[in-house]
Every structure is written in C-alpha cells, then in structure tokens.
C-alpha cells in the first residue's frame, strides 16, 4: 500500500468514526431534550447536574460499550450510586 492509499484510508476511516460519534451525541442529546421538555411542561424542578451525568453515561455507554444505559429516561443505578 502506498502512502496516498494509506492516507486516503485513514481519512475515510476517521470521517466515518467522527460521523458515528456525532450521531451518538445527537441521539443522546435529543433524548435528554425530550426528557427536559416533559419536565418543564410538568413544572418540575430539574437537577441539571444529574441530567448531564446521565447523558454522559449514555454517550459513553453507546460509544465505548455499544450499550444503552437509558439513564436519561429511567433512574440509573450507576448515577444513583454516584450520588450516594
């Protein structure tokens, strides 16, 4: 493989991975925004630190482990343990 082919491969692979990561961030953020919209409509007080921790856990779960913790929409034992 010559250098141009190698660089082309790296560029394509990097572009694909960045696109996938961007979609992961977008999907998880959309779930968080929907959850926040419901909370605001119900007049609830929202703990934003907990929401940010939850969405971070969901992003890491999907990006690294290919696992959806769903911690933004349901109470996560991982987030609960962090506050204990």
What span, in angstroms and rounded, lies between the C-alpha atoms of 41 and 84? 29
Could you report the per-residue pLDDT of 5-53, keeping only the tens digit for each? 877 877 788 888 888 889 999 999 999 999 999 999 999 999 999 899 9
**Lowest-pLDDT range, 44-53, 63-72, 73-82?**
73-82
Q: Domain extents for the chain? A: 3-83
What span, in angstroms and rounded, lies between the C-alpha atoms of 50 and 83? 9
Closest by CA position to 22, among listed 59, 54, 64, 49: 59
pTM for the model: 0.75
């Amino acid at each position: 493989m010559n250098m141009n082919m190698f660089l082309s491969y790296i560029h394509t692979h990097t572009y694909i991975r960045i696109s996938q990561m961007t979609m992961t961030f977008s999907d998880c953020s959309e779930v968080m925004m929907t959850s926040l919209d419901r909370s605001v409509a119900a007049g609830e007080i929202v703990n934003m630190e907990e929401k940010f921790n939850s969405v971070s856990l969901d992003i890491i779960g999907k990006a690294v482990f290919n696992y959806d913790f769903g911690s933004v929409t349901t109470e996560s034992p991982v987030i609960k343990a962090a506050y204990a």
